[in-house]
Amino acid sequence: MTAQACDIDTVDNPNAPTAESLLDGATLADLRLLAHGVESAIRNDMSFHYQTVSIVGREYYDLNGIDPRYTSELLGKNGE
């Protein structure tokens, strides 16, 4: 005797969903998860973003001295 439960959706890679998977019938839960993930990524990278645009805008200089290439590669050779 066999019993059948529910159908299992096949997901190629749950850690890297594609845009097509959202465009082809995303549920409300999928959209909420997407919005939560985007907000989380923005919160985690906000300080890096501010440092980068401040260095490029010449408002900030990284004085940590850990790797001087970080600032020099953003500003170009000799700060030009």
- Residue-wise pLDDT for 7-22, tens only, equals 777 766 666 667 787 7
> Would 43 be classed as within a structural domain?
yes
Domain count, the chain: 1
Q: What range defines the domain where residue 75 resides?
A: 35-79
Q: Is 51:62 a contact under the CB 8 Å cutoff?
A: yes
The verdict on pTM exceeding 0.85 is no
The first and second tokens of residue 41, run together, are: 């990524």
Averaged pLDDT, 21-34: 82
> Would 25 be classed as within a structural domain?
no
- HSE-up of 80 (CA within 13 Å, CB side)? 2
